[in-house]
A and B are shown apart, each in its own frame.
Chain A
Amino acid sequence: MLKLQVLGGASQQLSCLHTSISLDAKHWERNNRKVYPPQLPEEPRRPAEVYHSRRQIKYSKDKMWYLAKMIRGMSIDEAIAQLEFNDKKGAKIMREVLLEAQEMAVKNHNVEYKSNLYVAESFSGKGQYLKRIRYHGRGMFGIMDKVYCHYFVKLVEGVPPKPEKRTGFDQAKEYVQGLKNRTIIHSL
């Protein structure tokens, strides 16, 4: 596996070989193993990225999505605070995941300040369902799914980016500009 990180020019053809250390590491966690080459002193400092996930949470993926959408773009302290006072069941689990990810970032990924992180990506996915029988009247039955979901989060070091605000005035300006740009093609 260490061949992936060899820096010498002679062994660059080995760095594209797919080698896996452990067979149970899924795709999202494997992002944590990516190593970048050392930066030159004039380049801007690359922000640290930490990927974390939790699998097979006993909760619905659609219900989890609402919480994931809520914390997208928030700084980590704000996200943890909001989830602490949210009444949903998924909020407690999500908060644990965020705290784990923060600790991992400080310990393993050389992040200096634990509050200097923000949630760059956060989404939920479908886990493996268990099937059961749901009994109906008249001998009818339905197959009941016991739902499980996965939750994925990516924390990036730095200040959370501000979303661009477009006011009505900006939109009106753009509309008028579009009208002004109209011209007659193939004219004399």
Chain B
Amino acid sequence: MATSITRTFGSLRIVAHRSLKNAELALDVRHPGPLFLPVRTKKRYFIPPAVSLKGKKEENLEAKARAAGIVFRQQYLERSINISCSAGVFDPYIPPEGDARLSTLSKEGLKQRTEQIRQSAASQLAIRKIKEYDSQFSTKTFAEQAQEIFVEAHNSLTHFNKEKLHSLVTERCYPEMTRGNRYKTIRWRFVESLEPPRVVHVRCPDMVTKGNLYGQVTVRMHSKQTLAIYDRFGRLMLGSEEQPKDVLEYLVIERHLVNPYSRWRLHGKIVPSWAPPKDPIIKTVAIPGPDLKPGEEFDALNYEVPKPEAVQWNK
């Protein structure tokens, strides 16, 4: 092999020694050969194609790949939208302050009790619209149905039953429920319901076109639940399995009314501004400090941790 190469290169030797200098060898630069070269013999050695290419020609590469038979899939620069659920909670229900704090027997409690759906005409209109599409809809039975949906959805979340969860929960709510939970173990139990669930707010927004109706019903639920979240290694991160907590929740259930095959699914939760703060997690977290200019010092004693403002938000 070596001798054949020397014979091939024999005539080129003098040429090669003259033209290639040390610096050019290191830099991998090749000048075009002189014009008085004899006829070449058969090429028996291999040079990888990257070396002989001088400059990169982008358009040639694509044509060569296509000629070689490599097929590139068409790139769709689109963003998909979901029409089976709406994007958020429209005209959210503002829960009255001190909702679950006052007892039902006091005067304030009675006043709140009497503030039922009759309070708002818009809700009545919306119920009438829903009854057009779904004749079996009634506020009394719907509240229990909503609670069942809620319990089923959380049970399938603990067992990571994706298909069932998709049928019980809308596409907007699904990522919120499952974000960050992929490598965690969740143990949730519905102990009992302290008060019967009530429908408090109904709205029927229409998206894009006028006839495209979505029904959103807000249900108020007061119940006892236990929640324990374990991280990837089986250590307890949040909550406890034995200690049940009283939870007052405002669930938003949605259905695409125009679609005859649609179902009532959990769409989100409303967290009122006066909600009690959640339990802290069982670990210390570093809060990022203030941005200091060069030369300033950080005053640890007088620094107050900024608290988030109390606003109502939908989950």
Q: Which residue numbers of A lie inside 8 Å of B, CB to CB? A: 2-3, 5-8, 11, 33-39, 45-49, 109-110, 112-114, 130-133, 135, 138-141
Of B108-116, B204-212, B226-234, B305-313, the one with at least 4 CB within 8 A of chain A: B226-234
The answer on a CB contact under 8 Å between A39 and B6 is no
Q: Mark B230-246, 1 if CB is under 8 A from A, else 0.
A: 11111111000000000
Binding site secondary structure of chain A: loop
Residues from chain A with Cβ under 8 Å of B5 in the complex: 139-141
Q: Indicate whether A5 sits within 8 Å of B160 (C-beta atoms), given known contacts A38-B230, A139-B13.
A: yes
Q: Indicate whether A113 sits within 8 Å of B185 (C-beta atoms), given known contacts A7-B159, A36-B232, A139-B9.
A: no
Contact residues, B1-48 vs A (CB, 8 A): 2, 5-6, 8-10, 12-13, 16, 20, 25, 28, 45, 47-48
The 19 listed contacts between A and B (C-beta, < 8 Å) are A3-B160, A11-B159, A34-B232, A35-B232, A36-B234, A37-B234, A38-B185, A38-B187, A38-B228, A39-B234, A39-B235, A46-B235, A49-B233, A110-B237, A113-B284, A132-B28, A138-B13, A139-B8, A141-B45
| Bound complex: CA A62 to CA B266 (Å) | 57
The answer on a CB contact under 8 Å between A133 and B230 is no
Residues from chain B with Cβ under 8 Å of A33 in the complex: 183
Residues from chain A with Cβ under 8 Å of B9 in the complex: 138-139
The answer on a CB contact under 8 Å between B160 and A48 is no
- Point out which of A3, A49, A112, A139 has the most chain B C-beta atoms below 10 A from its C-beta: A139
The answer on a CB contact under 8 Å between A8 and B283 is no
Residues from chain A with Cβ under 8 Å of B187 in the complex: 38
Q: Which residue numbers of B lie inside 8 Å of A, CB to CB? A: 2, 5-6, 8-10, 12-13, 16, 20, 25, 28, 45, 47-48, 50-51, 158-162, 182-185, 187, 228, 230-237, 283-284, 286
The answer on a CB contact under 8 Å between B235 and A140 is no
Q: Indicate whether A109 sits within 8 Å of B232 (C-beta atoms), given known contacts A135-B25, A138-B13, A140-B2.
A: yes
Residues from chain B with Cβ under 8 Å of A2 in the complex: 160, 162, 182
- Least CB distance, B262 to chain A, in whole angstroms: 25
Residues from chain A with Cβ under 8 Å of B183 in the complex: 5, 33, 35
- Least CB distance, B258 to chain A, in whole angstroms: 32
Residues from chain B with Cβ under 8 Å of A47 in the complex: 233
The answer on a CB contact under 8 Å between B234 and A38 is yes
- Least CB distance, A32 to chain B, in whole angstroms: 8
Q: Indicate whether A6 sits within 8 Å of B160 (C-beta atoms), given known contacts A38-B230, A139-B6.
A: yes
Query: What 5 pairs between A and B have smallest CB-CB spacing?
Result: A139-B9, A110-B231, A39-B234, A38-B230, A2-B160
Other-chain contact of B235, A8, A110, A130, A135 (Cβ < 8 Å): A110
Other-chain contact of A139, B16, B48, B235 (Cβ < 8 Å): B16
Residues from chain A with Cβ under 8 Å of B159 in the complex: 6-8, 11
Other-chain contact of B51, A3, A109, A110, A133 (Cβ < 8 Å): A133
Other-chain contact of A36, B47, B50, B233, B237 (Cβ < 8 Å): B233
- Least CB distance, B129 to chain A, in whole angstroms: 37
